[in-house]
Amino acid sequence: MAKYKMHLLVCGGTGCSASKSTEIVDNLHLSLKEKGLENDVQVILTGCFGFCEKGPIVKVMPDNTFYTEVKPEDAAEIIAEHVIKGRKVTRLLYTDPENKEHIADAKHMGFYKKQLRIALRNCGFIDPENIEEYISNDGYAAIAKVLTEMASEEVINEIKLSGLRGRGGGGFPTGVKWEIASKNHADQKYVVCNADEGDPGAFMDRSILEGDPHSVIEAMTINGFAIGATKGLIYIRAEYPLAIHRLQIAIGQAREYGLLGKNIFGSGFDFDIELRYGAGAFVCGEETALIHSMEGQRGEPTFKPPFPAQSGYLQKPTNVNNVETYANIPIIILKGANWFNKIGTEKSKGTKVFALAGQINNVGLIEVPMGITLREVIYEIGGGIKNGRAFKAVQTGGPSGGCLTEKHLDTPIDYDNLIAAGSMMGSGGMVVMDDTSCMVSIAKFYLEFTVEESCGKCTPCRVGNKRLHEILEKITKGNGTMEDLEALRNLAGVIKDTALCGLGQTSPNPVLSTLDNFWDEYVEHVKDKKCRAGVCKSLMRYVIDKDACVGCTACARNCPVNAISGEKKMPHVINDELCIKCGACIERCKFNAISIK
């Protein structure tokens, strides 16, 4: 049986395959055979490395050499030099873009430093249903340190110094939030974990709760000690059953081990956590609405102030933080604020978890240092746009965010830059769009979501967004006027200025950012009655080219609404009145005679 001494991993991702990586595999096989090494060295095609810019990639194991931009004709040299003589092929090594040095060991490549897992440090590594695995990975060491060595002010100062900001979207400094809550005195205070993740396409918080629930429990206990609260509540949507199940197990285990309950670590500090289930209303991610929902009232926001830190759950001082924010806390306590605040940009410290979705090759959950550019995320981690299409936009921040375009590709991602670019960090959904996305329809999609999810308490959000949606609907139907575009902008501005809560105030962002970045596309919809992405059905016409049509009748037979007519062997025609633009005819036509005008 073959026991291979060496492995050659060749990238078989879409990009590298297009650059002949299968030919590289063939040539490597050939060279190995020539040298009689086919039983010692195994060549294998792998999934995408994500580093498509420098593809095709060949990685040699076990010595971890990383060759970039390899061509099929380089195969013989890799075998003759590296495999046989043990000398690395220098010219194919990755060159560090900064100091121009060749990097021999992949571990030292900046490429591996694009992603840094802090909040996700245990996610995918430990068994989330076994507290001992968490403990053996330094779990509960931070709360032990806090309770045995630190005063509550020291904990708050450490978090302040770390520069950690709320990962739920707003980016409020966490340490400052804790400090305010600590200074408000009451017989009972509360710590609340906001696990009401609601942005379309976002699943960071669910992943953390499902993969590392103890980190959130530990962090909430630290939070409780810091502000003087003995009760914690996790508000989680009932549509996350596995996350709930694992949290229940984790809370049970923590109690069993004495890590929740009375007199934790013999310090005299008591803390316990309960779960509260939400029904999945988007607005309940807003902290005042969340608190009302936990109290058994309607999930509607109220005006701030008073802030929850002054009067929150049951009118007691309450600190609300998001799941990902909490996941950062234990490691900050263990490694220190000065470690954490060296990562990231000047005003946004640490990392951010993003759910990378849409028209991108490596859809996935990523964690990157603040300050990384969109280009790095899309092309060096995400593996580029699907099917080699052109990049058009990235939506961040969900229904409260906006679209970033080509011109933002090299902007460092942090809270303030995203706001300056007309979007926001949001909770971390990142939806990548290619040239088949119609930006007017995208804006309409997010507005539909907001209209559906608006709690209806304040008029600007309840009525204003409905009107915005109607205007967008009118434009995508081909009935828009230039005055409508003005009205969109004015109304959006009014909603932004007058809505009650953060959700209402940010709800016009998808409209405003697409107006700013894709004005031409709006004008095309209005003036030329044209949708360049081919998404708005009312603006499309299916036309049969009478010269190319041979009258095979395939289209007519497959039209679900009988909109196509014509004699056999004679050119057919489509009745626009009946056509529902489903595209079934185009799929069936073997002669490319049907096109969209």
Partner 1 sequence: MTQIKSLADLKALKNNIQEKMDTRAKGNKDGLVQVKVAMATCGIAAGAKQIFDYFLNESEKRGIDIVLTQTGCMGYCHAEPTVEVTLPNKEPIVFGYVDTKKADEIIEKYIKNGELVEGIIPVNYETVAKN
- Are the C-beta atoms of residues 458 and 499 closer than 8 Å to each other? yes
* Cα separation, 475 vs 41, whole angstroms: 61
| Nearest approach, Cβ of residue 259 and partner 1 (Å) | 6
**Per CB under 8 A, which of residues 262..321 are in contact with partner 1?**
263, 265-266
Q: Is residue 590 a contact residue for partner 1 (CB under 8 A)?
A: no
CA-angle at 64, arms to 60 and 69, nearest 5°: 60
User: Quick one: CA torsion of 530, 532, 536, 538, rounded to 10 degrees?
Assistant: 30
- Residue 206 as a binder of partner 1 (CB under 8 A): the answer is yes
Q: Does 141 bind partner 1 (CB under 8 A)?
A: yes
* List 12, 308, 397, 429, residue binding partner 1 (CB under 8 A): 12
Residue 553 identity (one-letter amino acid)? T
SS3 (DSSP) at 193: strand
335 binds partner 1 (CB under 8 A): yes
Q: Are 314 and 202 contacting, i.e. CB atoms less than 8 angstroms apart?
A: no
11 is a site residue for partner 1 (CB under 8 A): yes
How many C-beta neighbours within 10 Å does residue 584 have? 16
In terms of CB distance, is 266 or 560 closer to partner 1?
Answer: 266
Is 159 a residue that touches partner 1 (CB under 8 A)? Answer: no
- The verdict on 44 binding partner 1 (CB under 8 A) reads yes
- Whose tokens are 């229940």? That residue is 248
Report in angstroms how near the CB of residue 133 gets to partner 1 at its nearest: 8
Whether 185 contacts 229, CB under 8 Å: no
For residues 58 and 10, is the Cβ–Cβ distance under 8 A? yes
Query: What are the φ/ψ torsions at residue 298 (nearest 5 degrees)?
Result: -60, 140
Determine, following the binding rule CB under 8 A, whether residue 108 of this chain makes contact with partner 1.
no
Select 242 or 561, whichever has its Cβ closest to partner 1: 242
Q: Counting contacts by CB under 8 A, is residue 19 touching partner 1?
A: no
DSSP alpha helix (H) spans, 271-372 = 287-294, 323-335, 337-340
Tell me how far, at minimum, the Cβ of 384 lies from partner 1, in Å: 12
Taking a C-beta distance cutoff of 8 angstroms, is the pair 550, 591 a contact?
Answer: yes
- The stretch among 133-141, 160-168, 219-227, 426-434 that binds partner 1 (CB under 8 A) is 133-141
Beta carbon of residue 350, minimum distance to partner 1 (angstroms, whole number): 10
Q: Give the separation between CA 404 and CA 379, rounded to whole angstroms.
A: 15
- Give the total of residues touching partner 1 (CB under 8 A): 80
Spell out, one character per residue from 365 to 404, where the chain touches partner 1: x when CB under 8 A holds, - when not: xxx-------------x-----------------------
Tokens 């909040």 — which residue? Answer: 119
Q: Find, among 458, 459, 460, the residue nearest to 491 by Cα.
A: 460
Q: Which of 94, 111, 449, 522 binds partner 1 (CB under 8 A)?
A: 111
Among 94, 225, 235, 240, binds partner 1 (CB under 8 A): 240
Q: Which of 87, 101, 112, 545 binds partner 1 (CB under 8 A)?
A: 112
Q: Which of 49, 58, 109, 110 is nearest to 81 (CA)?
A: 58
Closer residue to partner 1, CB minimum distance, 144 or 461:
144
In the list 20, 29, 35, 117, the residue contacting partner 1 (rule: CB under 8 A) is: 117
Reference 289, options 385, 198, 163; nearest CA is 198
Instruction: Tell me the three state secondary structure of residue 267.
Output: coil
Does residue 62 interact with partner 1 by CB under 8 A? yes
Nearer of residues 179 and 197 to partner 1, judged by Cβ? 197
Q: Of 43-51, 432-440, 444-452, 494-502, which part binds partner 1 (CB under 8 A)?
A: 43-51
Residue type at position 371:
G
Q: Taking the CA of residue 230 as centre, how many other CA atoms within 13 Å lie in the half-sphere pointing to its CB?
A: 10
Q: Which amino acid is at 556?
A: A
Q: Applying CB under 8 A, which part among 154-162, 238-246, 316-324, 505-513 lies near partner 1?
A: 238-246
Pairing of strands 190-195, 231-237: parallel
The nearest distance, CB 46 to partner 1, in angstroms, is: 4
Q: Which of residues 458-487 bind partner 1 (CB under 8 A)?
A: none
Q: Cβ of residue 32: shortest distance to partner 1, in angstroms? A: 14
> Can residue 49 be called a binding residue for partner 1 (CB under 8 A)?
yes
Say if residues 279 and 196 touch (Cβ distance below 8 Å).
no
Residue numbers 524-583 binding partner 1 by CB under 8 A: none
Tokens of 58: 């060949």
Q: Is 4 in the site for partner 1 (CB under 8 A)?
A: yes
- The answer to whether 1 contacts partner 1 (rule: CB under 8 A) is yes
Q: How far apart are CA 256 and CA 30, in angstroms?
A: 61
**Contact pick of 145, 496, 537, 588 for partner 1 (by CB under 8 A):** 145
The residue (of 115 and 465) whose beta carbon lies closer to partner 1 is 115
Q: Which of 27, 31, 42, 311 binds partner 1 (CB under 8 A)?
A: 42
